[in-house]
Every structure is written in C-alpha cells, then in structure tokens.
Amino acid sequence: MNEKEILKKVDHTLLSTTATWDDIRQIVDDGIAFDCASVCIPASFVKQASDYAEGKIPVCTVIGFPNGYDTTAVKVAAAKDAVENGAKEVDMVINLGWVKENRDDLVLDEIRQVRQAIPDALLKVIIECCDLTDDEKIRMCEVVNQSGAEYIKTSTGFSKGGATFEDVELLRKYSSPEVKVKASGGIRSMEDAEKFVELGAERLGTSRLVKIAKEQPKEAS
C-alpha cells in the first residue's frame, strides 16, 4: 500500500483545546491537499471550516468528547447542531460507566438516539479500548452492530492509550461486516498505519501522517 492510499483513509485530526482558526484552516488545507478522508476538528469550528472547505473535504467533529459522560440529550443536541453547521461525520464517545455497570441497553439506546438525530451523517462510535477489558470490548462490538452506526472506533487519543494492533484485530473480528473499524490515537508512522489497515481498519484518526507526508522530499519533475 502506498502513501497516497494510506492518506485516503486518514481523518486528519486536530482536537487540541488551544486550537485557533489559523490552525484549523491549515488542517483543512492539508486535508484537501493530501486527499484525506475527512478533517476532524472541534465542534466550535465546524461551520467556519465547512464554509471554508466548500465541499472539497468532509468535515468531521466529536461529541461527548473525550469522557463520554454527557447526558444522552446533550449528545443528541450536539450531534444535530454539528450536522446543521455542516458536519458530514460525527464521532461520539460512549458512556464508559454504563459499560462497567453492564448497562449495555443504555449504551445502545443512546447510540440509536444519536443515529436517529443525524440520519444523513456518518456516525462513528468511540469505545475507548484502553479503559475496557476484552470482554467489554466484545460486548461493545455487539452493541454497535445493533445500533446503526457505520464505524466502531478504538480511542479518543485523550485517555491513557490509543489504538493497538490487538484491539483493531479484536474489533474487526467481532464487528459485523457492515460495521467498519477506525483506529485512532498513537499512529506514529506510515508502517504502523499500513499494519492497522491490514488488520481491518478502514479509517485512521491521526495528525502525524500528513505531517510525515509533508516532510517527505518532493520528487523532481
């Protein structure tokens, strides 16, 4: 797999709490230049970024981020607001406390409510693998399989760990064929990215890969 094929799977991401519009605009420019799958940015910049991008790249944002413990009503409202502002993709964080309490019914209901609120947007569900046991990850695969979401996602990148090869392999094994896997957090090289794709990831959430591509020497024409 060559670099261009990898970058087509990248959600080029900037979720820093101190990000400015100049930073976001650069993310959009780079995402377009390197033909990334989307740019993933804070919700407060979605309208501005969507207008600026003029349809050249999908804008993605996050809700319930990074801790997942907002109420369902807040997550639904945030998702609707993001889409009304131009987001084409939404990455939501589940309530991990409910997972620990074996309240999979509540997790499923919440995802379904968000799904119903944004029927035309792509929905990715972040399960924060580093905070779950393997049994809990498998349960969450089953929940997402039933939810109508398009993706299950490994991580926010804001907890104690990011994507691992083992987690991507597990998510791919227990997710239905209709549910895709997104690896996010800690993807440090093109080699890592290629391995994640080989193991079943169809999206990669990262800021590093575009930076690596920008640092590559340009071929002489």
**Catalytic-residue membership of 153:** yes
**Catalytic-residue membership of 182:** yes
Catalytic residue (choose from 88, 124, 182, 192): 182
Q: Which amino acid is present at 92?
A: M
3-state secondary structure the chain: CCHHHHHCCEEEECCCCCCCHHHHHHHHHHHHHCCCCEEEECHHHHHHHHHHHCCCCCEEEEECCCCCCCCHHHHHHHHHHHHHCCCCEEEEECCHHHHHCCCHHHHHHHHHHHHHHCCCCEEEEECCHHHCCHHHHHHHHHHHHHHCCCEEECCCCCCCCCCCHHHHHHHHHHCCCCCEEEEECCCCCHHHHHHHHHCCEEEEEECHHHHHHHHCCCCCC
Catalytic residue (choose from 75, 153, 167, 192): 153
**Catalytic-residue membership of 135:** no
Catalytic residue (choose from 91, 167, 180, 192): 91
**What residues are annotated to the active site?**
91, 153, 182
